[in-house]
Every structure is written in C-alpha cells, then in structure tokens.
Structure 1
C-alpha cells in the first residue's frame, strides 16, 4: 500500500476512535485500526467488539493495500506532523512507514503493524430501513441518557443500557430514549419522519458506554440516519457508519412515572438554584447523601445536616402558595439535571415525600429528569 491523505480529513476521526480502541480487551488486535486503500479513498475501521466503526475518506492511492496499526501511535504521530498531508507506505514484515513527505527525507516513522487478517470483521448488514433524524437532537438525547451512569459492577441490562423506542405519540412519530440507574431517570424524545411503517414500535436497549462513543461522532448540524437490524443499532452519515450491539434483556415499564400525578409546579432561577445546591452539597458524604427541601410560604429552604461534618441551611424566594411540603433528595442528582437543561429557568414538579420529583426546562417539557426522593 502507498497513499497520501489530507490530515484534516482524518485527524478528528482518529481522535474520536481512541475511546473504542483504548478499551481493555482480551483481544490485543482491537487496540489497532484497519486501514484499507482502494481506488481514490481509504477506509478506517475500529472495533471493541461491542461497537464497530467504519469511515470512508478521500485519498491519493498510488498502490492499493491493507495495513493494521496501533490506533494511539498512529493518532499521536498524525497529530504531531505539521504538514497538511500524511504519507503512508506499507513496508516488509508488516512495517508501516509514515511521513510528512513522499520520500520521508526529513521525517519518517517505521511502525510495526499487526496482521490484517487478525482484525475482527465488522458486520455486513444489508437492506437496513433507516430513519433520518436531526443530528443535534440525537446528540442531545444521548447526552441526557449517558448522564445517568451505572455502578462499576452493575450488570443489569436496563441499568447499563438506555432504552430506545419508536413511538406514536398522539398521531406524531417520535423517537424516545429512557435511561435510569434505579434512583433517577431521564426521558427525552423528539419528532421524526418514518417512511417504513414497520419501524414503528421497535424497542431496543443500547449500552451506555457505546452511546458515549457514538456521541463523539455526531455533528451539531445536518442529518443522521439510524436503523435497527440483526441485533445492531446502526448510525450512519455521509462517510461514517457505527454499529452497536444491542443488549438482550427486558426494560421495565416506567411510563407511570411520567404521569402528572397532580404535581405542584415550581419555577426557579436555574443558576441561583444550582449555586444553592452546590453550597449545601459540601456537607454531604457517602453516609449522608441527602439534603432536606422545604417548600413553604413562598420560600424554598434547603438544609444539610451531617453529624460527620456539621449542618447548614439556605433559602431562596419562590412563588409557592400551597401547603408546606418537605422531602429529601440527593442534591447532586439535581445539579446533574440542571447542567443539561437549557434556558435561564428550571421547572420542578413535586407532590410529596413519596412521589418522584420531575425536573425539566420551561420550553421543552418533553425532556425530563425524574428524581426519586430519599427516606426522611
């Protein structure tokens, strides 16, 4: 193989795939990428077995071929080369020569590659019925879902994965994603156009770790295609395709948590509320994670009491004229929720110390955080 490729065409991809190739695995070959040169383009493939990636990029191909090279080494080299073009040539005994000029007179790396035949084959999936979605909306959906992370030893599919379904919501086709760790939950959804009626009603569980990697590849402008077939969740744009193995298992029916339950709505200034939570959270610990919320007479009072550290309280003026409500929550769950809500205000919906609290933005109340109260 002998090629040259514009650095700007591959540098972002090489950075993004580090999360895939950098995962610990019993297969050392997955630390590598597979580069294939054909005609006037190259393909770059990476996989950790759970997630597979393939990108197609323009290149000047003098001689076709295939090489496998350590992803981190290659990225570090390309990143440090100051020229606009990267020259790659396959040598003897699996050596891969990388330079900033065709002859490599001033700078040249000779990196030992791996055997291309040992690289795991990416899935070949045909006749996928894709749904076209706004890339930014999907990126935002994944950001909400991956905010809720599982514990290090967690194995249950509905905790380590996020639930994606294509639904009919009052005559509108929507994609919905739900994510939970058992103590809190996020639900996001957005409207989409579905050409194939068979796509409606599909439900899958996607590993959150894979979603975190997928997030890096999604653009903030333009369209992206998503599809579900052969136990894979497939995301595709003009030049890149990502394959994610779907988790097996059942996701519990959590729709009852979304119901109104005649909750009381309280509008708060987002930054003021967050600052207040962060000050009270200073006194929490592993043994004392909760703080007390008291809504009464147009005031929200938050009290932190920890026998290991001390106690503190703070209040803010709010519009609240209902009967006094007292409950206890983990303040960090509210801080996480506030961090991903857009706008200057946040809306919290409460009922009592037994019913979960809903946290959302003012404009888009389709995207919600649900936080379970703690026992007082």
Structure 2
C-alpha cells in the first residue's frame, strides 16, 4: 500500500477511533487501526471485538493494499505533524513508512490479515433518528449504568418501544441498583427498530453512539442478529448487544409521592457539590430534611467534621427526613435542563424521584441510604 492523504481528514477519523481501540489487551493487535486503500477510498477500521467502527475518506492511491498501525502512535504523529500532506507506505516485513515531508517515521506493525474483521448484518432495516434526540437520551441515562464488574446485567442501557395513550415512544433506562434514570421520547419509527421486548446495549457502545448524534443531523439505527448498527454519512458503528435480562425496573418506581418539593436546579446542584466535599467511601450520605418551605442539608464525617446548608423551596406534604448519596443528585441534575426541578418522596425508605418541566419524558430516581 502506498497513499497520500490530507492530514486533517485522517486526523479526525483516527481521533474518533481512540476511544474504541484497546490499550491493554491479551491481543496487542487490538491497539492497532486497520487502513485499507482501494478505489480512491481509505477505509479506517478499529475494534475491541465487542465494538467495531469504520470510516471512509478520500485518498490518493499509488498502490492499493492494507496495513495495521498503532492507533495511539498514528494519532500522535498526525497531531504533531507540520504539513497537511501525509504519505503512508507499506514496507517489507510488516513495517510502515510515514512522512509529512519534514519528519520520517518507520514503524513496526502487525500483519493486516491477522486483524479481526467485523461485519454489518445483512439486510438490516435502518431507521432515521435525529442525532440530537439520540444524544440527549443517552446523556440522560448513561451515567447511571453500573461500573461494578460483578454487575454484568446492569452494564448497559436498556432500550425498548413503549406504547402509551395511542402514542409510540422510544425508551432508554439505566440503573446500577442505587439510582435509576429513564427517558421516553415520542418516536413513531421505534416500531421498525426490531427491539422486541427490549435490548441491552453496553455502555461503551452507547457512548460511541452518543458521539455520532452530537454533531446534529440524523443517524441511521437498526438492530439485528444480536447487534446494534448505526450509520452516519461515511461512518459505520457495529455494537454487540449484551445477552442479559434487565431487571423489572418498573417495580421500584413509586406510583405517587406523599410529599413533593420544588427547588431551583442550579441551587440544589451547587449545594450538593458543597455537601460532597466532606464525603468519602465510609461516610458519603447527606441528610435531607424538609419543613416550612425549607430544605436542610447536613453532611457529616466524624473524621473531618460536618457541613450544613439550607435552601428555599416550595414544599407540600408530610415532613421528610432521609439520607442520600449527594453524588447521585449531582449526576442527575447535571444532565437536566430545567430551571426548577420537582423532587418526590414517599417515606424515608422509598426512593426520591426527580423531574423537570424542560426535561419532558425524563425521570431520575435515587435510593435512600442509612444515616
């Protein structure tokens, strides 16, 4: 393979693949990127075996072929390059020569025919979904995915089609057992996504899917043969679905609140950030109490001291006093857009719910802690 290519075009694709390639793996080749040049196009491929990414960019080809290159080293070479024209040439014994006309690199690589190949399922139906909608739904749920290695069945976002009052919604739900985030968005084409009773997409794949939607436009999305497939312009993403059963999350969502609180989102977010200053692994609960339109926050750490703050709120219902992890409030509140949020409480042993007028279809839920 012998090609000349625009540095900026290649840099954007290689940067996009950095979060996919495996830096620590039993298969060192997974830290590499596969470059394939044919018919005036360079195909850039990266995979960790669970997730595959491919992008196409135009290229001047002197000799067709393919090579593997360290994804991280190629990224750094392009980042620090001085010229916008890059030449990449395959040499003997799996070496590759790269130059921008000023600096010359000779890199040892792995044989291209050893690189794992990922395939897009045949005859998959792809549905057009607004990128902004997809990105918002992922942003409002992905932080609640379990990071516990033992929590495999909670290590992704659950996606399903929901029908309610004659309307069809696309729903995403994530939980780690201590908090839950759920969002419904009207989306008639969810009928054609092939979701069945719901599917689990791993967190890493959802983060990549969210990046696809961040730039606006639309994303083509489909599910088939235990894979999630997404296309946008010349980029292709194939995600292997999790084969686990998502828990009955509906059972933990309170049907009604005994007490409700309305508070400025920014004020509550800033207060929780101050409460978390004294927390650690042993002492991480903040006590919340409501009475007479006042919200009292108290964070206590016997090793360090305590912090107290009071906020003005609109409170209705019976007096409430319960403990919660302030970091969970921070994650939920940071993902919301509403100026004011509504908190719902049943009793000190039941979860707190969070909603906002500007965050239509969204529900955040936090389980209480022992004080």
When the two structures are superposed, what TM-score results if normalisation uses the length of structure 2?
Answer: 0.93
Change beyond 3 A, Cα 1:353–1:338: same
CA–CA distance in structure 1, aligned partners of residues 205 and 356 of structure 2: 27
Residue 273 of structure 1 and its aligned partner are, at CA, apart by 1.2
Q: Could you tell me whether the CA contact under 8 Å between 1:139 and 1:220 is conserved in 2? A: no
Q: Could you tell me whether the CA contact under 8 Å between 2:289 and 2:321 is conserved in 1? A: yes
Residue 137 of structure 2 is aligned with which of 131, 134, 141? 141
Aligned residue for 2:278, secondary structure, equals coil
Residue 215 of structure 1 is aligned with which of 210, 213, 217? 210
Q: Which residue of 2 aligns with 1:44?
A: 44
Q: Which residue of 1 aligns with 2:303?
A: 308
CA–CA distance in structure 1, aligned partners of residues 195 and 304 of structure 2: 53
Change beyond 3 A, Cα 1:243–1:202: farther
Unaligned 5+ segments in structure 2 are none
CA–CA distance in structure 2, aligned partners of residues 344 and 179 of structure 1: 24
Equivalenced residue count is: 371
Q: Which residue of 2 aligns with 1:11?
A: 11
Residue 312 of structure 1 and its aligned partner are, at CA, apart by 3.0
Cα shift readout 1:56-84 (whole Å, capped 9, x = no counterpart):
11112222111111111111111111222
RMSD: 2.0
Change beyond 3 A, Cα 1:93–1:321: closer
Residue 119 of structure 2 is aligned with which of 117, 123, 137? 123
CA–CA distance in structure 2, aligned partners of residues 14 and 242 of structure 1: 14
CA–CA distance in structure 2, aligned partners of residues 3 and 330 of structure 1: 55
Q: Which residue of 2 aligns with 1:249?
A: 244
Q: Could you tell me whether the CA contact under 8 Å between 1:131 and 1:193 is conserved in 2? A: no
When the two structures are superposed, what TM-score results if normalisation uses the length of structure 1?
Answer: 0.92
Q: Could you tell me whether the CA contact under 8 Å between 2:276 and 2:326 is conserved in 1? A: yes
Residue 340 of structure 2 is aligned with which of 342, 345, 356? 345
1:324 and 2:325 are equivalent in the alignment? no
Residue correspondence of structure 1 range 63-102 to structure 2 within 5 A: 63-100=63-100
Residue 199 of structure 2 is aligned with which of 198, 204, 212? 204
Q: Which residue of 2 aligns with 1:109?
A: 105
Q: Which moved more, 1:113-122 or 1:304-313?
A: 304-313
Residue 227 of structure 1 is aligned with which of 197, 222, 227? 222
Residue correspondence of structure 1 range 358-369 to structure 2 within 5 A: 358-369=353-364
Change beyond 3 A, Cα 1:249–1:338: same
CA–CA distance in structure 2, aligned partners of residues 218 and 197 of structure 1: 19
Q: Which moved more, 1:237-246 or 1:300-309?
A: 300-309
Aligned residue for 1:186, secondary structure, equals strand
Unaligned 5+ segments in structure 1 are none
Cα shift readout 1:179-200 (whole Å, capped 9, x = no counterpart):
1110001112322242865736
1:174 and 2:169 are equivalent in the alignment? yes
